[in-house]
Structure 1
Amino acid sequence: MREIILNENDAGKRLDRFLAAYLPHLPPSLTAKLIRKKHFKINGARVSDPAARLSAGDVLTMYLGEALLEPRAEAEAYRFHGGALDGIVYEDENLLIIDKKPGLVVHEDESKSPDTLIARVLAYLHAKGEWDPADEHSFTPALCNRIDRNTGGLVIAAKNAAALRDMNAIIKNREVKKFYLCLVETAPRPASGRIESYLLKDAAANRVAVSRTPVRGAKYAATVYRTLGRAANGLTLLECGLETGRTHQIRAQLASIGSPLAGDTKYGRGGGIRGGQALYSYKLDFSPLTDGGSLSYLKNRVFTAPEVTLAGLPVRLPRAE
């Protein structure tokens, strides 16, 4: 048997989803069976509803054997002592906004390198005393958005469950505008415009196919762009705004109009520059925010990367229109 007192980061969660995080080594089918057979009490009352909602201060009693209550695998990432968390653009009690440099993965990938952005975030918060896995039952600070290894730019991290929930809703409801700077091999025609198409993901090849018309399984995508000028290396500098957030959206859509990103080996020729595609997520604009819950104070806030380098060249940030 084990008894725990739930905290604010556990509040609002369904019992089954809490247990999936607290006892991740148990198969979901077994967890469902244990709930159904009333192996759990909330505040002294037996519960069999997997959708039962938890509140801060609830006492959860688990009538399970030691074999099922084996110690949870802690998030070992906070023990990482490699790269420091550089590039903090904004921080408060709920959030971090980090300017990730190209070359750093946000989460562990097939390389299994321990040096990831989330590992640096966890190590930073643990060192500050703002997060300790020993004090948490079901929550670990998490990234709210992600960008490719070779793309630099702004990434949001949530320090608590309420902030994670509210930021995910903001992003889902498109109440934050995301802007990118990029260098393309060929200047687009027209110089400014809007690209609408449908993207069909090929998970095995890790790429998307672009269709002008709807096809089964494809998702609608829209990107607005404007030409800012010519770079010193002869490439064209664009600003792109995402109206949707699809995998490889900017890369695939620009390539589809004959203006692939410089350095993009997947959708373009990939030559001329080093370090992957010349793409940078440089601005987050929260002016569309309507509610935001615990993050309502972000309304009308704009966060910009302090400096942007593309293809080894510093880029002058555009003025707001």
Structure 2
Amino acid sequence: MTDNYHVTQEEKGQRIDKYLSDKRDDLSRAQIQTWIKEGYIQVNESQTKANYKVQVDDLITLTEKEPEVLDIQPENIPLDIVYQDKDVVVVNKPKGMVVHPSPGHPNGTLVNALMYHIDDLSGIHDVVRPGIVHRIDRDTSGLLMVAKNDHAHQSLAKQLKDKTVKRSYVALVHGDIPHEYGTIDAPIGRDTKDRQRMTVVTGGKDAITHFEVLERIGQQYTLVKCVLETGRTHQIRVHMRYIGFPLVGDPKYGHRKTLATEGQALHAQEIGFHHPTTNEWLAFEVDPPKIFTETLENLRQSY
């Protein structure tokens, strides 16, 4: 599959890797840089470099790399499948499970489990992530869409890009948020001082989170519902810290003194999308895991 893009006056001067990552939310800048080196991305039918700055009327051609044969072993790991048909699967990922294999997590991932339980998975964009259209962090629990074929993958990825997928989370944060509703519109990029962290930064990718207060627990904690308009890495965790209300239990962005919740108290509770084949609207909801609900109950009894 080949995509063509024409650079407009407003887009002039951007690095090509940033330009394409803004166009394609399903591709990381690192992946785009690799494809540029391998010749899958060209400017005006010629080879280019990742630091090339696009010019008005440039024709950017992106030819998708053919998926490679995977060397990921299926593993008989219990999986909570909320919904499944011939095109899509919706799973409730447990807290503590990594979504896909990586150098630090070669097995025991959601992908290993999916390859055991699901006969067919899509192979678009990234050979290490069959079927994976979007991710949630290891210690975030909750709902994920999985594509069983390339048509479904393309449809779900486009819905994410067009911001028509409904994704809402429940989060427990430190502090007493003074207003009932809010929108955080702050760009997110990698922290130059710590490459393992994301932060709000000028020139980062657009990131928008809407939140609603569900419950205040004393003056120390607030339970919120967060609705993603965009899906940046660690978005809710970064945005809530940015406004002064970091997530409980978050080892990367939270307080040093926090509650023992086995990682951030964040749960992907609701997801909704149009079925890739029938266009029917599908919506799903799952309750938070036991450690989340028990933490809430203990706090309520303390205040």
Write the distance in 1 (CA, Å) between the matches of 2:131 and 2:122: 14
Q: Who is 1:277 aligned against? A: 264
Q: Is 1:149 equivalent to 2:138 in the alignment?
A: yes
**Cα-to-partner distance string for 1:239-261 (whole Å, 9 max, x where unaligned):** 11011111111111111111110
Tell me how far apart the structure 1 counterparts of residues 210 and 39 of structure 2 sit (CA, whole Å).
Answer: 45
Matching residue of 1:188: 177
Aligned-pair CA distance for 1:118: 1.0
SS of 2:225's partner is strand
Q: Which moved more, 1:199-208 or 1:178-187?
A: 199-208
State the TM-score, normalizing by the size of structure 1.
0.64
Could you tell me how far apart the structure 2 residues matched to 1:139 and 1:107 are? 7
Equivalent residues of 1:184, 1:238 under 8 A apart: yes
Q: Which residue of 1 aligns with 2:206?
A: 220
* Pairwise CA distance, 1:81: 2.9
Tell me, in whole angstroms, the C-alpha distance in 2 between the residues paired with 1:51 and 1:250. 31
Q: How does 1:21-36 map to 2 (within 5 A)?
A: 28=38
> 1:161: Cα distance to partner?
0.8
* Residues 1:108 and 2:98 are matched in the alignment: no
1:124 aligns with 2:105: no
Q: Supply the distance in 2 between the matched residues of 1:282 and 1:51 (Cα, whole angstroms).
A: 35
Aligned partners of 1:167 and 1:295 also within 8 Å: no
Q: Are the aligned partners of 1:260 and 1:268 in contact in 2 as well (CA < 8 Å)?
A: yes
Shift of 1:106: 0.3
Within 1, Cα distance between the matches of 2:189 and 2:63?
37
Farther off after superposition, 89-98 or 202-211: 202-211
Question: RMSD over aligned Cα, in angstroms?
Answer: 3.5
Q: Counterpart of 1:76 in 2: which secondary structure? A: coil
Tell me what 1:303 maps to: 284
Q: What SS is found at the alignment partner of 1:296?
A: coil
Q: Closer, same or farther in 2 for the Cα pair 1:295/1:145, shift >3 Å?
A: farther
Asked whether 1:80 is paired with 2:74, we answer: yes
Paired residue secondary structure (2:207): strand
SS at match of 1:143: coil
Q: Which amino acid is the alignment partner of residue 104 of structure 1? A: M
Distance 1:232 1:313, change over 3 A: farther
Q: Distance in 2 between matches of 1:188 and 1:132?
A: 42
- CA offset at residue 309 of structure 1? 3.9
Deviations 1:280-305 (A, max 9, x none): 1110133xx5xx652512x2x21111
Aligned residue type for 2:200: V
Contact 2:133 2:153 in 1 (8 A): yes
Contact 2:198 2:233 in 1 (8 A): yes
Which of 243, 255, 259 pairs up with 1:257? Answer: 243
Cα distance between partner residues in 1 of 2:186 and 2:39: 40
State TM-score, norm by structure 2.
0.68
- Structure 1 gaps of 5+ residues are 1-12, 15-26, 33-49, 54-71, 317-321
Q: Give the paired residue count.
A: 238
Hey, what's the Cα distance between the residues in 2 that align with 1:132 and 1:153? 21
The structure with the larger Rg is 1
1:239 partner SS = strand
Q: Is the 8 A contact 1:96 1:157 kept in 2?
A: yes
Q: Deviations over 1:112-139 (max 9, x none)?
A: 331110111111124xxx5799xxxx99
Structure 2 CA distance for partners of 1:269 and 1:132, relative to 1, 3 Å: closer
Offset, 1:269: 0.8
Cα deviation, residue 308, structure 1: 3.8
Alignment CA distance shift 1:230-1:308 (3 Å): farther
Distance change (3 Å), C-alpha of 1:109 and 1:295: farther
Does the 8 Å CA contact 1:141/1:160 hold for their aligned counterparts?
A: no
AA in 2 matched with 1:96: V
Identity of aligned residues (%): 29
